[in-house]
Amino acid sequence: PLSDAADDPPFSPKPPGRVPRPRRSKARKEPPGSSRGGDPERPAGPDLPFDFRYSYSETSAAVEPIGFREPPRFSPFGPGRIDRTWTGTSAPAREAPDPEKAAGERERVLGAPLSEEEVAELVELYRHSDCNRQINLGKGGVTHNMLDDIHNHWKKAEAVRIKCLGVPTLDMDNVCFHLEDKSGGKIIYRNINILLLYRGRHYDPKQRPVIPLMLWKPYPPIYPKLVKNVAEGLTFEETKEMRNRGLNSPPLTKLTRNGVYVNVVEKVREAFKTEEVVRLDCKHVGTSDYKLIGVKLRDLVPCVPILFKDEQIILSRGKRDTESTSTSHWTLN
């Protein structure tokens, strides 16, 4: 049976005098050195004296694309977040950089050169594989967002360990140059594909540069074809015969995905002393990576890529007297 209304307990009375307090919105802290000045409508003014690119070590400003896979008006930094215009490949600085001023600031932060004892102490502290101050550098090379990762590690560590894998290891000198040039640090240790990047004696984390992050990876633009139908200086039949000879020759070396390729350039140069055509087996590398390898070898050896087929790279040494001019007109598609 249902109970009478008189027997039902009343609802708990609301305690008197309790007025809910409005929540305070936490003010967003701006990064050190930000040029917003408290105005949320004003885009950030980064103080880095170079053009912004997705990858600094794997792209070249000298090579112009012939098209874009997405409209250049879509900036990977997001709308209104920086005071630079995205061109489809880069965000150029508004003012021309002053190399002398940048070099002087870098020397000031680095301070006096480290002694051998100081270098040995830092190397012993950060060179081991179990170091928790490590950044992995892959096929993208020295990317823009990696600069922010480096400065984040430098907040609590004097150096950061960088492990390089994949296509960028073909040219470690290029990787070291861009790491030092874009971050302002100094390479104090280099062993095959392992680097230690030192921040400097007078580095102040509170005065670190403003680095706006890329919100997504931009689509790569379209470049002219890397391999021509007919190699320069040869007929179609001669080019076809050279390609077949390369496919039937034993591979010079077998490359693996995300491997270390520091010795590949020297191997190809040595092979071209006795061979006219060289084959590289890239069965486990991947389609995009093995084309990037061909582009790198074209410029570093130098040589002429004549075929990419079945994950095999066929390289020709070309004409020795015209190699410097014949290898400067092609790039990756």
DSSP notation for 143-167: BHHHHHHHHHHHTT-SEEEEEE-BG
User: 73 lies in a domain?
Assistant: yes
**Residue 123 token pair:** 């190397």
Residues 187 and 300 in one domain: no
pLDDT of residue 63: 84
Is 266 domain-assigned? Answer: yes
- Rounded CA-CA distance 145/56 in Å is 11
What is the domain count for the chain?
2
* pLDDT for residue 326: 39
Residue 205 and residue 266 in one domain? no
91 and 187 share a domain? yes
Q: Is residue 176 situated within a structural domain?
A: yes
Asked if 201 and 240 sit in the same domain, the reply is no
Q: Say if residue 126 is in the same domain as residue 275.
A: no
In this predicted structure, what is the pLDDT of residue 217?
94
In a domain, 292, yes or no: yes
**Residue at a domain's end among 189, 219, 249:** 219
Residue 62: predicted pLDDT: 83
Give residue 9's pLDDT.
57
CA separation for the pair 25, 101 (Å, rounded): 41
Residue 19 placed within a domain: no
**Single residue among 219, 247, 279 that ends a domain in this structure:** 219
Let me know the angle formed at the C-alpha of 154 by 164 and 129, rounded to the nearest 5 degrees.
Answer: 40
pLDDT of residue 44: 54
CATH number assigned to the domain comprising residue 286: 3.30.110.60
**Which secondary-structure segment (H or E) carries 247?**
helix 236-248
174, part of any domain = yes
151: containing domain: 31-219
Q: What is the pLDDT of residue 216?
A: 93
Burial class (CB in 10 A: 0-12, 13-18, 19+), 192: exposed
Is the same domain home to 314 and 247?
A: yes
Do 204 and 317 reside in the same domain of the chain? no
User: Average pLDDT by consecutive 10-residue portion of the chain (333 residues)?
Assistant: 56 62 60 42 65 92 88 90 91 85 91 94 90 91 95 94 95 95 94 94 92 93 88 85 92 92 95 93 86 92 91 85 41 40
User: Is 36 in the same domain as 70?
Assistant: yes
3-state secondary structure of 302: coil
Query: What pLDDT sits at residue 108?
Result: 93
In this prediction, residue 33 carries a pLDDT of 40
**CA-closest candidate to residue 221, choices 59, 82, 56, 52:** 59
Cα→Cα distances 325→63, 71, 89, 298, 304, Å: 15, 33, 25, 12, 11
Domain boundary among 170, 191, 219: 219
- Residue 323 pLDDT: 43
